[in-house]
Chain A
Amino acid sequence: MSAALKLSSLALGASARVKDFPRSGNTFVRLREMGLLPGTMVTFVRAAPLGDPLEFKLRGYHLTLRREEAEQITIEA
């Protein structure tokens, strides 16, 4: 698990496929409903000027989420 790449570590402008999601938590169910699912292609657009939250592009739209949430989502290398 420690070797798994996290969504928060994605480089600026880089894309990756989502691998795994925490099972529980309001936030993560909502994220999934918004289209961020295992297997979804995600691009890291930018971080906010103060470093948090992060902006991603997926399924044709832009989504923001906090760094601490992105840290719990793993991506495929």
Chain B
Amino acid sequence: MYALVGNPNCGKSTLFNALTGLKQKVGNYPGVTVEKKIGETYSQHGKAIKIIDLPGAYSLAARSPDEAVTRDVLLGRRADTPQPDRILCIVDATNLERNLYLVHQILDLGRPVILVVNMMDLATTSGIQVRVGRLEQELGIPVIACEAVNGKGIVDLKLAMSRVDLPLARHSWDVPAAVSSAVAELQASLTDNDGRSPLVARAEALLLLTDFDTVRVAGSTPLCKRTTDILAHWQKHWEAEGTDWAGTLVGSRYAAISVLCADIVQQAGVTGPSASDKIDAVVIHPFWGWMVLGGVMTLLFLSIFTFAEIPMNWIDSHVASLATWVKVAMSPGDLRDLLTDGVISGVGGVLVFLPQILILFFFIGLLENTGYMARAAFIMDRLMSRVGLNGKSFIPLLSSYACAIPGIMATRTIEDPKDRLVTILVAPLMSCSARLPVYLLMIAALLPGDAVPVLTKVGIMLLMYVLGTVGAFGFAWLFKRTLLKGAPPMMIMELPPYRLPRLRDVALQMFERAGLFLKRAGTIILGISIVLWFLTTYPKHPNPAATSTEQIAQSFAGRAGHLLEPVIKPLGFDWRVGIGLITSFAAREVFVSSMGVIFGVEGSENETAPLRDALRNATWPTGVALFTPLVCLTLMVYYVFAMQCVSTVAVVKRETNGWKWPLFQIAYMTGTAWLVCFVIYQTGRALGY
């Protein structure tokens, strides 16, 4: 099996896709939320070759879970992934030196390595010439020049990969004297006590000496005590001596690389600003940069809220006609109702959001692959670090305005586990699009008259969005100060040159992620929809001619609503709203249809008017109006803060590997919602509203 490794942004995914086509399997490493990608390609003789695409890494001295997985797989530390026998290293021709650092470490492992020098076309444009033949001579391993985007060099690569005999690299590198005895000791201990082969032991020893804070992830077998003791002893020794032990090794490697590159890389004089530089002059301009960012954000939201409408309506109508067909085709009864109101409406609920989700994933993929994402993080970093976050949290949080699920999935680019966790915890506070139907309904009920002036509608919605955003940043700051206190995140990031990605690769990525979304969210929503259907249907009203209102009133859900009432009464909600809050667990927008059922209004999704009127006329048993403007406002604020969407909870559980954080998230968000609403409602009442 081949392992594909390389720096981020060097076209590794493009190469992987070019080699494996669609024969890829995407999963997860058990215990870590890092993608495991395995694909198959075919050799010259038609034999299948397995390739595992390891996460991009700058060094085997891991600084993030992604890099930790790459390191662990290459060192054979993971029980779930066998150590690859051959390694495919991909480097970027336009900045060979830094890319070769990882290769230098990998050559230590003593495995057959094939070096792929990618992006040759971009190198030529920048006036950089790489003497591939000379490199092959120097290293003693096959070196293939490639342009993965255009498919050039793939055939040669497959030819090299098919070779039965692959030479080992001519890699003799003298470990600096200051650390050589430490290396020898560690190597001995690793061989004797941890069962490593001598070569791997040496490689690992060298790694341990550059790894300040060894990032360990679940699933990686720990070292035995003797080894860690030796390491600790030497570290203390050097600390006392004042030797820069880590830096010495790094410097020594780069010295060897510089010598190598002097021979093989020729830069054709000083060229003017590249195309990327010219674009950056605008994109990171003190003024124009903001315009561009604003434009990108506007485009994102426009595509989600408008372009997605047509496919959404299409799906909506087809789901509705399917339900009608079933109603006609089957005889009335519980099974039919389960199908139409449970399964079809549940699945339909997920499918309707699919266009938005697809657009969002496509957009994020585009931003990532073109290189703009790094610029956005660069620009927003100062603001984000005010609350203790990293600029990389910007895009995930921004995406959460559409749907928190893709946003939370996008947090994988954040290296620091604490930062990632905080971003995940606050992402649902960014008002997602599912809250919109609730806002719209409440605004309609809140304001007198038939037509709601657009400006007021927008104004109130904006208020809700601002509230959510302030909440998100506020809690991020709080969490970073208290619970998840940690060092301020590093902002060491590469700004890759702008690249025009292959649409095929972006599309593939989009479908992969959308598939994951459907699997996770889809199954949960379906399950919950069925459960909720059950809760709202049973026990059945003794009178078969009872209205749906009466039916729901005495169902399990209705009883739950009654039970909930004392808790939500201080917020101005009654048991019927309580039912709505419960059903919102499937998806927030289900609130609207639930209100429709409870107040006996049919087809409430499409016209708010009849439902709005029904709400306005609703009263408490005492005759006092239920949906006063104050209550409408309070309800909207509740939806801003409360954690309801079960699918999001499921994704958070997946991404944090446990129930602790999703449960905490539910607690803090719903608690905050209750408190804020309590204050708003009671203050409002006190002020006479």
Contacts and interface: CB of A to CB of B under 8 A. Distances in A.
Interface of A: 21, 23-35, 37-38, 46, 48-53, 55, 59-66, 69
Given A32-B251, A63-B495, 18 more contacts: A23-B244, A25-B212, A26-B487, A30-B490, A33-B59, A33-B250, A34-B492, A46-B284, A48-B378, A48-B382, A50-B381, A53-B391, A55-B495, A62-B495, A65-B491, A65-B492, A66-B490, A69-B490
Contact of A35 (B101, B128, B290, B496): B101
Interface stretch (B89-97, B455-463, B605-613): B89-97
Nearest to B261: A59
A65 B459 CA distance: 39
Interface in B234-281: 242, 244, 246-247, 250-251, 254, 280
B213 interface: yes
Given A26-B213, A29-B210, A62 B383 contact: no
18 contacts: A29-B61, A29-B212, A30-B59, A33-B101, A35-B101, A35-B254, A46-B280, A48-B379, A49-B379, A53-B491, A55-B495, A60-B94, A60-B97, A62-B495, A63-B494, A64-B378, A64-B493, A66-B381
B392 to A, nearest CB: 11
Contacts of B491: 53, 64-66
Given A37-B254, A48-B379, A64 B495 contact: yes
Contacts, number: 117
Interface string B30-70: 00000000000000000000000000001101010000000
B247 A21 contact: yes
Given A26-B213, A37-B250, A55 B242 contact: no
B247 A61 contact: no
A52 to B, nearest CB: 5
Contacts of B251: 32, 37-38
Nearest to A28: B247
* 9 A-B pairs with the lowest CB-CB distances in the bound complex, closest first: A60-B95, A50-B382, A61-B95, A62-B495, A33-B59, A35-B98, A32-B250, A59-B97, A49-B286
Contacts of A61: 94-95, 98, 494-496
B490 to A, nearest CB: 5
Given A37-B254, A50-B383, A55-B495, A30 B284 contact: no
Contacts of B495: 55, 61-64
B125 to A, nearest CB: 13
Interface of B: 58-59, 61, 63, 94-98, 101, 128, 210, 212-213, 242, 244, 246-247, 250-251, 254, 280, 284-287, 289-290, 378-379, 381-383, 385, 391, 487, 490-496
Given A48-B284, A49-B290, A49-B379, A64 B247 contact: no
Contacts of A65: 491-492
Contact of B381 (A38, A48, A60, A63): A48
A30 B63 contact: yes
A49 B284 contact: yes
A62 B494 contact: yes
A69 to B, nearest CB: 8
Contacts of B285: 49
Contacts of B487: 26
A35 B492 contact: no
Nearest to A53: B491
A46 B281 CA distance: 9
Contact of A63 (B63, B212, B246, B493): B493
A30 B59 CA distance: 9
Nearest to B242: A23
A25 B63 CA distance: 12
A22 to B, nearest CB: 9
A33 to B, nearest CB: 4
B492 A31 contact: yes
Contacts of B290: 49
Contacts of A24: 212
Nearest to B285: A49
B205 to A, nearest CB: 17
Contacts of B101: 33, 35
A4 B328 CA distance: 84
Nearest to A50: B382
Nearest to A39: B251
A58 to B, nearest CB: 9
Contacts of A38: 251
Contacts of A48: 284, 378-379, 381-382
Contacts of A21: 244, 247
A26 B58 contact: no
Nearest to B287: A49
A59 B100 CA distance: 12
